[in-house]
Structure 1
């Protein structure tokens, strides 16, 4: 086993030295930032120190194999490596950390764990921390790290389509699983369009599987003085579109079903015309697991999903799943909803707002 200490001004520079001398399979045993140099105790600089190790069998497998073969050929007993147990321990460590070849500086390790606690995925959290390391810095101050990570998350998401500044398409379709609040969200959008933008709005519902859903939308339609059409078939849907041809905006509610079954997606296609005149929003609850949200998104890949609407933001303090969806599936977020009140509990989403929600309280929590 080879163990060696490396030093450089920044972590990226140290890692270049490690990879250059020991290779990509090296294991980082320890890392720290220390003060070095200076004159009479003054003008000291931050130096990043890393202790790395490599298992010789990983470094030169063919060479060691040849030496063993020569020993056996000459009738000698194979040499027993006295560091066998240590090397086995290193292999075990490497299997545990998997793709994380680097151990982050202490404060960045704290930040990484914080992101995981916010339910940011390991992949997204790791890439975010590594981009920060590549840019360099001492990373001594937690408040500064919070600001840097907020900006890093924003930079990674800012090119996606966030918010919905105007109702520029005539039809809005809300699709998604049952129980995520599609009907209530539809009423909030209708109130926003009618009250704040003075648009003529119409409702269409294709959710004929639940009587309660129709009754709920009828109640909202009556309160907001918005006409409602119930569509049981594609023909009904087309007739409803014709009735609302002179309206500014038509909001369409769809049935919440078990969309793990592809047949339900095909039913949606038979019922609704997802054409270029429409904005199609996938509604997901932030209290759901990221894997479930991803599965649902993949089921809807044959429908052009333009943006997400994320509901139940008031029911969880962790917004990492939203970041995961944006960066993993390359999709923006139009709105976040945080309650049942119509029309109040809905906010236009933004990349900076989402990044801020994820990082909120990081430095305060760690300093308390």
Structure 2
């Protein structure tokens, strides 16, 4: 798309130059009143500044057709502004933002190639990461606003900063935190194959090594002998006891036996998340409401639709934060962003490897946004 800025005494004069240089297919992207000259703020000259664009490839002209109706709306706004110059500054800001909004809506209904060339890589990146369309629209809105309103060419780093800032605004209402260290019991739940046991060991190592707390383990994963042995291996390294529980009575006994420890980490069985009975079995064994912090674990190699289905099954249990594993095994990190926005539940940790305790990273709002865009 070819984009150019024009300044003229009137909109009609500006349009005359636009048609001469860009042709009748040109689209007004933005217009505002500007003042220049004068003496001590008096006798300033009023001009209209217009940013217009046209698809440089004649074979792509059909892609700007969605803008035709928008041009009519923009002209109506300009007419209203012309009749109400007492509030010209407010109207100018309103019209500017309204036009950008209309532009973004049109762009998302059209072929993605109608984006300015500089913004195409970002549109493609957001889509390839799997960020859902409504969120992409808002992020591209922020980029387009910076691109058109600032009136200058931004660097790649500046564009990324715009995206990060907008991500932060979207995530700001949601709480992000790791282990708060206000609860005695730390529990991880989730489907099979997401890496719950390894993740639990990483969390335990952090609490023991970094925060100098005494730790112990309880496992209810009696379906896989290998899982118990794996946890015992980690426990031996961390010099921590392990209690194996088959039912609610075992769980109560284990809590009593481990009462002297600062923090007790609970490992649960990974079962088919489509079976609601699995969640009911967990509720029968574990008291999730008493002095416990629960993390629901997802693998980023899973489809977003499966993540939503997993959450729907587990949401009957009080979930404090999410943990996303296997970050290093996929480039589609948008699913975790989508899920956090959908559920209003933050991400406590992201893991990106098998090394204990290194490959785990505590999240906050800003850091999570950066990991989404990596």
- Using structure 1 for the length normalisation, give the TM-score: 0.71
Whether the 8 Å contact between 1:186 and 1:251 is mirrored in structure 2 is yes
Residue 358 (structure 2) pairs with residue 347 (structure 1): no
The offset of 1:350, in angstroms, is 2.4
Q: Quick one: which of 193, 198, 204 aligns to 2:212?
A: 198
SS of 2:68's equivalent? strand
Structure 1 residue aligned with 2:229: 215
The answer on 1:115 being equivalent to 2:126 is yes
State the Cα distance separating 1:357 from its structure 2 match: 2.9
Contact 2:340 2:347 in 1 (8 A): yes
Q: How does 1:2-151 map to 2 (within 5 A)?
A: 47-49=51-53, 52-53=67-68, 104-133=115-144, 136-138=149-151, 140-143=153-156, 144-151=158-165
Q: 2:298 aligns with which of 274, 281, 284?
A: 284
Compared CA separation, residues 215 and 320, structure 1 to 2 (3 A) = same
Q: How does 1:166-185 map to 2 (within 5 A)?
A: 166-185=180-199
Q: Which has the higher contact order (CA 8 A, sep 6+)?
A: 1
Measure the CA separation in 2 of the matches of 1:139 and 1:352.
26
Counterpart of 1:22 in structure 2 is none
Q: Tell me which moved more, 303-312 or 123-132.
A: 123-132
- 1:321, 1:329 → 2: CA distance? 12
Q: Distance in 2 between matches of 1:195 and 1:118?
A: 35
SS of the aligned residue for 1:226 comes to: coil
Q: CA deviation at 1:109?
A: 4.6
Q: CA deviation at 1:294?
A: 1.2
Secondary structure, counterpart of 2:296 in structure 1? strand
Equivalent residue, structure 2, for 1:186? 200
Residues 354 and 115 of structure 1: is their aligned pair in 2 closer, same or farther, counting only changes over 3 Å? same
Determine the C-alpha separation between the residues in 1 that align with 2:258 and 2:49. Answer: 70
Change (3 A) 1:45 1:256: same
Write the distance in 2 (CA, Å) between the matches of 1:34 and 1:235. 69
- Cα root mean square deviation, aligned: 3.6
1:310 counterpart residue number: 324
Q: What is the CA–CA distance in structure 1 between the aligned matches of 2:313 and 2:294, rounded to whole Å?
A: 14
* Residues 175, 186 of structure 1: alpha-carbon distance in 2 compared, 3 angstrom cutoff: same
Does the aligned pair in 2 maintain the 1:176–1:256 contact within 8 Å? yes
Conserved in 2, the CA contact under 8 Å of 1:107 and 1:142? no
Question: Structure 1 pair 344/336, CA: closer, same or farther in 2 (3 Å)?
Answer: same
Contact 1:280 1:307 in 2 (8 A): yes
- Distance in 2 (CA, whole Å) between partners of 1:244 and 1:256 is 24
Q: 1:199 and 1:100, CA in 2 relative to 1: closer, same or farther beyond 3 A?
A: farther
User: Which consecutive residues of structure 1, in runs of 5 or more, have no partner in the other structure?
Assistant: 1-6, 10-28, 55-93, 361-368
1:267 CA drift (Å): 1.1
In the alignment, structure 1 residue 273 sits paired with structure 2 residue 277: no
Does the 8 Å contact 2:188/2:267 carry over to 1?
Answer: yes
Please tell me whether the aligned partners of residues 5 and 49 of structure 2 are also in contact (alpha carbons under 8 angstroms): no
Query: 1:97 deviation in Å?
Result: 6.1
Deviation for aligned residue 1:256 = 0.5
Retained in 2: the 8 A contact 1:174–1:252? Answer: yes
Equivalent-residue separation in structure 2 for 1:353 and 1:46 (angstroms) = 38
Q: For residues 218 and 142 of structure 1, do their structure 2 counterparts lie closer, same or farther at Cα, with a shift above 3 Å needed?
A: same
Supply the distance in 2 between the matched residues of 1:138 and 1:359 (Cα, whole angstroms).
Answer: 25
Structure 2 counterpart SS, 1:53:
helix
Describe how 1:153-168 pairs up with structure 2 within 5 A.
153-164=167-178, 166-168=180-182
Unaligned residue ranges in structure 2 (runs of 5+): 7-24, 37-46, 55-63, 70-104
Q: How many positions carry a matched residue from both structures?
A: 294
* Cα shift at 1:30: 7.6
TM-score normalised to structure 2 length: 0.69
Q: SS at the partner of 2:165?
A: helix
Q: Which residue of structure 1 lines up, in the alignment, with residue 347 of structure 2?
A: 333
CA distance in 1, matches of 2:174, 2:309: 20
CA contact (8 A) 1:46 1:138 kept: no
